[in-house]
A and B are shown apart, each in its own frame.
Chain A
Amino acid sequence: MNVQLDDLVDRKRIVAIDATPIPAPPNSPHPGEHLFVNCHYDVSQAKRPLHELASDARGDALQIVRRLGANPIVQAYVSAVVTVYGHFPVHGAARPARRRIYRVGVLAKDLPANGTLLGPDFFSRFGVDESSELDDIIAGHTESIT
């Protein structure tokens, strides 16, 4: 699905962004299709301090949310779920482990209209859902999609 985010891919920090509509699970409190936008950081980013990664990921998510708000197509969905993924080398492992650096969900009705510039307080002003797995990265856990 083209939601016009390709220009955010700089091949340095962000290597890919994809968007996929997904119908909610049967017991979801918000039935209907949600738009999942996944932003992938290059594995080289894992060398950076985690607090910097978290800050950048939140900023990138904010930028993506702003762009989604300016796209009328997105209003057809219940919410937008924006996730920034990193790929972290793990001691003894053959490949990096993928982790959510930052995820935010915003109901479509709360998306900023017309691409309004957003301040860092945007997510705290609305009932958005934010989460991260950075604690797991610090603890050394990895993911088992093998």
Chain B
Amino acid sequence: MPRTIQEAAVASGQRVENDDLVNFGSRPRDVINPSTGPRSYWFRYGDICHLTLPQIQAAIGGLASAGQPGGGVVMRVSADPAHRFTLRAAAGFFGLAEYTIDAPVMVKCSIDVG
């Protein structure tokens, strides 16, 4: 069984709070300033920390199938407060809320969750 995101975060020694917003990508970054467009997608750490990486990839869209082998193996933790983001209320029966933002986001730490 792959480790959970929370287990990976603890192993990294980095402190991540439940209300921190996190984003997944292929490499560590200091700033999320998308090369392909203005929008980035974020999730509340407390909502996803119990999941494994394959589950995260499935919940947010099968990154490997999107032509990005190894995508989503690094979790970037936002240094910016949640109120800067647009909350897209949890849709459907699953109940995972998304946060989006159309501006660069400062990252306080990146954690290898692969």
> Of the candidates A15, A34, A38, which one forms a contact with B93 in the assembled complex, judged by CB atoms under 8 Å apart?
A34
- The residue of chain A having its C-beta at the shortest distance from the C-beta of B43 within the complex is A25
A107 to B92: give the CA distance in the assembly, Å. 9
- List 10 tightest A-B contacts by C-beta distance, closest first: A142-B37, A28-B95, A144-B40, A105-B92, A20-B58, A144-B34, A129-B92, A93-B36, A25-B47, A79-B93
Judge whether B24 is part of the interface by a CB distance below 8 angstroms: yes
User: In the assembled complex, how far is the CB of residue A41 from the closest CB belonging to chain B, in whole angstroms?
Assistant: 11
The answer to whether B26 touches A146 (Cβ under 8 A) is yes
Q: Could you tell me which residues of chain B, from 84 to 114, have a CB within 8 Å of some CB in chain A? A: 90-97, 102
The answer to whether A145 touches B37 (Cβ under 8 A) is no
Which one of A48-56, A65-73, A82-90, A115-123 is at the B interface? A82-90
- The residue of chain B having its C-beta at the shortest distance from the C-beta of A96 within the complex is B67
10 contacts between A and B (CB under 8 A): A24-B96, A27-B47, A79-B94, A81-B92, A97-B36, A140-B37, A144-B23, A144-B40, A145-B66, A145-B72
Residues of chain A touching chain B, judged by Cβ–Cβ distance below 8 Å, are 15-16, 18, 20-30, 34, 36, 38, 40, 43, 78-79, 81, 83, 85, 87, 90, 93-98, 100, 103, 105, 107, 129, 131, 136, 140-146
- The residue of chain A having its C-beta at the shortest distance from the C-beta of B39 within the complex is A141
Q: Which residues of A contact B50 (CB under 8 A)?
A: 23, 25-26
- The residue of chain A having its C-beta at the shortest distance from the C-beta of B29 within the complex is A146
Q: Which residues of A contact B46 (CB under 8 A)?
A: 25-26
Q: Which residues of A contact B65 (CB under 8 A)?
A: 15-16, 18, 38, 40, 85
Q: Which residues of B contact A29 (CB under 8 A)?
A: 93, 95
Judge whether B77 is part of the interface by a CB distance below 8 angstroms: no
User: In the assembled complex, how far is the CB of residue A144 from the closest CB belonging to chain B, in whole angstroms?
Assistant: 3
User: In the assembled complex, how far is the CB of residue A117 from the closest CB belonging to chain B, in whole angstroms?
Assistant: 24
Q: Which residues of A contact B61 (CB under 8 A)?
A: 38, 83, 85, 98, 100, 145
Q: Which residues of B contact A129 (CB under 8 A)?
A: 91-93
The answer to whether A27 touches B95 (Cβ under 8 A) is yes
The answer to whether A136 touches B35 (Cβ under 8 A) is no
Q: Which residues of A contact B97 (CB under 8 A)?
A: 25
The answer to whether B59 touches A36 (Cβ under 8 A) is yes
The answer to whether A95 touches B67 (Cβ under 8 A) is yes
The answer to whether A144 touches B55 (Cβ under 8 A) is no
